[in-house]
């Protein structure tokens, strides 16, 4: 058995090597447009803080100049890391692969030699025809080894930035709370995050401690009004279906079918997406610039990214009020935790909980950001307005890549507690509050008063069947 110390050395070396970024990775130039299948390191919002700890802290915390602040608590809502495709995607990928394999080989005249060389369209087609479909259904959405690394690295960076909250002392004291969705990929992510903290603190773990809480982190499944009114309701998702058959997707579908030498009819919109997913998965799981990526250019990727944004907007975010309400339990949990951590205390009282780590899904983060009223554009994305949506804020590639995170840091400052919001490790202002500095916590509470006093999951979710916005008083 490998000793824990050896494991630590190997992992730290691997992390250092990848940090140096010595090999300019060969990635498709549209790697920042894979929607929720984007790697964290390719996501456009992600800027890895560099330099000494003080510089890291300055880059993350915006406190008024001259005001002394000390971080006292951190709550992080984190999406699982890079994962294998789910069964549904795997089936579509297999169907595409089979379709190519069985499609009639391009006709060749008698005696004609292999006519085209490496890099030609025919050569690429042939590479895809011979491509080994290695995904199997038992992989169904599990965390990939790269996903473990995503979470480990995130934990290490956060521990570097906030050593008093995620460093050795709170870790040894067992004072860092970790809650997770019960899905396998999230539980594995919760372990990997703790592994990262232990590595950084050089503490040999006895065992990792986390508790599954689906009521908090997968509450969306338990909301009847949502499941019936949105998730299973084609009308509620009409914009997505419309775009799927709209002019941008149709043009792309024909273009890719031509590249593959397939009749237009046989490459359905789902199979077109499967090809794009293959390109993204091979990168996210194996760090490969897959031959599937040659089917697309950057403009094509933006169309498919928009398809993902439409789906997430209407299915998982602002599109319908009841969807945001699925996040009420998480919202109240987070603010209760912050309230407790910020409460004035005597020196004899037990110190506040340093950190609360909550591991979930894109559908955990998006309604939560939605409740906070973030990333809401003036004009919602629809099937018809793709051309005018280039500058939209709601962009899944930058909001919910693998290992996406929303971090709330409570600071003890001279003028009272302040709250710094970080989205994917970049400071973000709260809507309606001045952008430049971490606002006073009481101002944040005032801005969300209506939610703190309302946001009733049971009322919204049980009362709303028959229409996402129906008056529940009836
Ligand atoms: C489905 O969605 C539409 C549009 O949002 C809504 O008007 C309708 O009431 C919903 N149907 C159900 C059964 O919730």
Residue 468 beta carbon below 6 angstroms from any ligand 1 atom:
yes
Q: What's the CA-to-centroid distance between 226 and ligand 1, angstroms?
A: 10
In 3D space, the residue among 205, 186, 187 whose CA is nearest the CA of residue 196 turns out to be 205
The Cα 240–Cα 388 span in angstroms is 17
What number of residues does the chain have? 474
CB-CB neighbours of 169 under 10 Å: 13
Residue 35 beta carbon below 6 angstroms from any ligand 1 atom:
no
The Cα 166–Cα 311 span in angstroms is 35
Three-class secondary structure of residue 254 per DSSP: helix
The Cα 460–Cα 66 span in angstroms is 44
Residue 443 beta carbon below 6 angstroms from any ligand 1 atom:
no
Specify whether the CB–CB gap between 416 and 423 falls below 8 A.
no
Q: What's the fold here for domain 4-104+120-463?
A: Rossmann fold (3.40.50)
Q: What's the CA-to-centroid distance between 228 and ligand 1, angstroms?
A: 8
Both tokens assigned to 104: 């009639």
Residue 319 beta carbon below 6 angstroms from any ligand 1 atom:
no
Q: What's the CA-to-centroid distance between 250 and ligand 1, angstroms?
A: 27
Residue 320: C-alpha distances to residues 3, 87, 160, 231 (Å): 51, 27, 38, 11
Pairing of the two strands 176-180 and 355-360:
parallel
Which residue puts its alpha carbon closest to atom 5 of ligand 1?
Answer: 236
pLDDT for res 204: 87
Sites in the chain below the pLDDT cut of 50: 1-2, 9-10, 12-13, 15-24, 107-112, 464-474
Q: What's the CA-to-centroid distance between 464 and ligand 1, angstroms?
A: 10
How confident is the model over 169-224, as pLDDT tens digits? 999 999 999 999 999 999 999 999 999 999 999 998 777 899 999 999 999 999 99
Mutate to test the pocket of ligand 1, among 228, 233, 319, 322 (most ligand atoms within 8 A of CB): 233
pLDDT for res 23: 43
The Cα 450–Cα 139 span in angstroms is 43
Three-class secondary structure of residue 73 per DSSP: strand
Question: Which are the catalytic amino acids?
Answer: 80
pLDDT for res 95: 97
Residue 236 beta carbon below 6 angstroms from any ligand 1 atom:
yes
Mutate to test the pocket of ligand 1, among 235, 238, 322, 382 (most ligand atoms within 8 A of CB): 235
First to last CA, the chain: 65
The Cα 40–Cα 233 span in angstroms is 31
Residue 228 beta carbon below 6 angstroms from any ligand 1 atom:
yes
How confident is the model over 6-23, as pLDDT tens digits? 555 445 445 444 443 334
Q: What's the CA-to-centroid distance between 71 and ligand 1, angstroms?
A: 45
Residue 467 beta carbon below 6 angstroms from any ligand 1 atom:
yes
**Closest atom of ligand 1 relative to the 467 alpha carbon:** 9
**Closest atom of ligand 1 relative to the 228 alpha carbon:** 14
Q: What's the CA-to-centroid distance between 319 and ligand 1, angstroms?
A: 12
Residue 234 beta carbon below 6 angstroms from any ligand 1 atom:
no
DSSP string, 331-372: HHHHHHHHHHHHS---TTSPPPP-EEEEEE-HHHHHHHHHHT
pLDDT for res 2: 45
pLDDT for res 46: 63
Both tokens assigned to 198: 């232990």
């Amino acid at each position: 058995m490998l000793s824990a110390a050896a494991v630590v050395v190997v992992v730290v070396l691997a992390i250092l090597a990848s940090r140096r970024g010595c090999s300019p990775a060969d990635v498709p130039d549209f790697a920042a447009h894979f929607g929720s299948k984007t790697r964290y390191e390719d996501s456009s919002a992600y800027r890895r803080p560099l330099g000494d700890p003080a510089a890291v802290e300055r880059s993350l915390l915006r406190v008024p100049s001259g005001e002394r602040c000390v971080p006292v608590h951190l709550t992080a809502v984190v999406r699982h890391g890079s994962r294998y495709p789910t069964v549904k995607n795997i089936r579509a990928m297999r169907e595409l692969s089979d379709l190519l394999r069985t499609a009639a080989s391009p006709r060749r005249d008698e005696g004609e030699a292999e006519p085209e060389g490496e890099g030609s369209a025919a050569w690429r087609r042939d590479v895809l025809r011979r491509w080994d479909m290695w995904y199997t259904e038992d992989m169904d959405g599990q965390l990939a080894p790269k996903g473990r690394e995503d979470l480990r690295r995130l934990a290490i960076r956060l521990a570097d930035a906030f050593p008093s909250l995620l460093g050795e002392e709170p870790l040894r004291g067992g004072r860092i709370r970790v809650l997770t969705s019960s899905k396998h990929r999230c539980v594995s992510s919760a372990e990997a995050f703790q592994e990262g903290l232990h590595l950084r603190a050089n503490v040999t773990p006895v065992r990792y401690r986390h508790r599954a809480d689906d009521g908090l982190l997968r509450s969306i499944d338990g909301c009847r009004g949502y499941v019936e009114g949105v998730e299973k309701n084609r009308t509620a998702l009409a914009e997505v279906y419309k775009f799927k058959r709209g002019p941008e997707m149709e043009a792309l579908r024909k273009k890719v079918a031509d590249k593959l030498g397939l009749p237009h009819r046989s490459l359905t919109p789902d199979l077109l997406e499967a090809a794009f997913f293959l390109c993204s998965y091979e990168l996210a799981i194996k760090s490969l610039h897959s031959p599937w990526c040659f089917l697309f250019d950057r403009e094509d990727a933006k169309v498919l990214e928009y398809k993902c944004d439409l789906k997430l907007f209407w299915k998982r975010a602002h599109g319908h009020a009841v969807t945001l309400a699925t996040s009420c339990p998480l919202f109240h949990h987070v603010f209760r935790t912050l309230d407790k951590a910020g409460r004035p205390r005597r020196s004899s009282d037990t110190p506040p909980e340093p950190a609360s780590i909550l591991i979930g899904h894109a559908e955990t983060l998006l309604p939560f950001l939605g409740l906070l009223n973030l990333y809401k554009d003036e004009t919602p994305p629809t099937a018809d307005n793709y051309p005018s949506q280039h500058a939209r804020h709601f962009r899944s590639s930058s909001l919910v890549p693998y290992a996406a995170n929303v971090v709330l840091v409570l600071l003890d400052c001279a003028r009272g507690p302040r709250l710094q919001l970080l989205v994917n490790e970049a400071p973000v202002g709260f809507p309606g509050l001045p952008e430049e500095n971490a606002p006073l916590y009481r101002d944040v509470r005032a801005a969300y008063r209506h939610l703190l006093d309302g946001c009733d999951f049971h009322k919204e979710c049980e009362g709303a069947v028959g229409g996402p916005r129906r008056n529940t008083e009836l």
